[in-house]
Amino acid sequence: MTAQATIRYPLRHFHMCCGSGAGAKGFNMSNPRVGNLVGDWICLGGVDVDLDGLQDFEKLTGVKGTQMDLFTRDQYTRFHGKEPPVGWKEATPNDIRRAAQNVTPHACFISSPCKGATGLLPESMAGTPRYQALNELTLRCIWLMLEAWKDDPVPLILFENVPRLKTRGRHLLDQIGKLLSLFGYAFSETAHDCGEIGNLAASRKRFLLIARHIEKVPAFIYEPPKHSLRPIGDVLSRMPLAGDVEAAGPMHRVPSLQWQTWVRLALVKAGGDWRSLNEYAIADGYLRDLVIIPEYRSGYLGVHQWEDSSGTVTGRAGPTNGAFSVADPRVAQSARWNHGQQFGVHHWIDSCGTIPGQQSPGQGRFAIADPRPGMAKKKGDPYLTGGHYGVVRYDQSAAVVSASARHDNGRFSVADPRLPEPNERLTCIIRSLDNTWHRPFTTLELAALQSFFDPEDHWSADPIDALEIKRRHEMELFQLYGSNDSDWRQRIGNAVPPKAAKAIADVMGTTLLLVATGETFVLSNIPIWVRPIAMAISVSSYAAQ
């Protein structure tokens, strides 16, 4: 038996309200196969009103998008609260067709704005003319797309939105259904988790309407296979520590939060949320059982356990500049050293022992219980007036600052009453009760969790050869267009994860390849999308044979 040569089959996709192009990137990643036929998804372009997002679209897909306002004039006025500027015009079906290079796509992906239907928006605000106009873009996009290719219908349509659209936008979905039926489409309203179908470490539940043109696509469309959600650490552990912008770029900076937010995050139990705060005792507006302790430096006044290994021993190793102390369990043995004289303290009325060439509290009985704590010694005493371990009040002025100023050789400490104001914004590390840093995700981490890029392409703990190291150093770090974290996060949050879009493109592409080979059925235990109508068509096709 001779192997058949692989045949490449072009599949074209187009995107409305394309945003940063994450969904389009996912389609480009897909290469479905049926027998020796392999599909190559090709992006025709996308349309969106956001120019910054279109910069990302071109970078992620390699195809230039088209800036286009999809509102009607009435919708524009209700959303913006004013008439459109001079020269503004409504988009037409011809404009949509030109944006797709005047080519009919095999699949059209529509992900219209969803703020008006999201659960994060109160019901009272969702019902205002502004957000109703935004919701109406769902119907507007479907109509523009159907009219653009009414003479050569798009075989497959994918309409994605928030799950609550099924309730807050029910009247719009009913109209969309009527339109699709009028233009010859079978469709199904479903819901899925992008994290499960994309094998991600983040859950993202979405509403999905999938439609197929009955004459062009008689074959079943199967659901993508599902996976268990991965742990967050699977992704973040392959990235540099948050804040290392030198290794990961500006999108990896730690967000600046209010001081009170940092404290609250530190008090939330790992795996919990704000309800953890209810478990703490509050007295007169303060935490009764906890106190915030600033860290001087790593290991400051640190004490090792007897069974621990020591850290690096430096030239200035001492208790006050690192973990250079040990909890020694050999009390009985140490009591015999130097006849038990270590750290000995004489009474004021005792006589002193022999004074050797070297003497300190740790070498013998070289300390005294002085009953004169409140008495002055004479003026000019070199030790007492040196201010050793002295603490200056916050409202006092400092003395001369010497080149060797340290806490133990002068009055070089201050009683600082300041903590940040509750609403003061800053970036800091507060070690939580579970000895970890509770912090927000960086923008780059959010992009990785949404599968915008794979951290493995840049950083890996696995051994790699010199050529791979060189390749990674030369690879451009992932960064969206612009420099504003808020804008980046909004575009990431609005996006369809590329790996989830790839999973959808895989099954849609398989269906299209089956159609290309004349097949309408494939044996599979995977559930079928558009089940009721698909079953009816299957039966009628079989009967006709």
pLDDT single digits (tens) 243-288? 999 889 999 999 999 998 898 898 998 888 888 888 999 888 788 8
3-state secondary structure of 167: helix
pLDDT for residue 376 is more than 50: no
Distance CA 525, CA 527 (A): 6
Q: What is the pLDDT of residue 332?
A: 54
Q: Residue range 50-75: average pLDDT?
A: 96
Mean pLDDT of 219-247: 88
In contact, 44 and 101? CB cutoff 8 Å: yes
Per the DSSP assignment, residues forming a β-bridge with 414 are: 392
Please provide the distance, in angstroms rounded to a whole number, between the alpha carbons at the two ends of the chain. Answer: 31
CA distance 413 to 437: 28
What confidence tens digit (pLDDT) does each residue in 87-131 have? 999 999 999 999 999 999 999 999 998 777 777 777 778 788 998
**Among positive and negative, which fits the CA dihedral 366, 372, 377, 383?**
positive
pLDDT confidence tier of residue 300, bands split at 50, 70 and 90: low
Which residue segments constitute the domains of the chain, with CATH numbers given?
7-230+483-544 (3.40.50.150)
Q: Is the pLDDT of residue 536 over 50?
A: no
% of the chain beyond a pLDDT of 90 = 44
Q: Which two tokens stand for residue 253?
A: 């900076």
Would you say residue 520 has pLDDT above 70?
Answer: no
Residue with tokens 């936008």: 169
Q: How many angstroms separate the CA atoms of 241 and 217, rounded?
A: 49
**Per-chain mean pLDDT for the chain:** 83
Cα(63)–Cα(24) distance, rounded to whole angstroms? Answer: 10
Is 2 a residue whose pLDDT tops 90? no
pLDDT band for position 412 (50/70/90)? confident
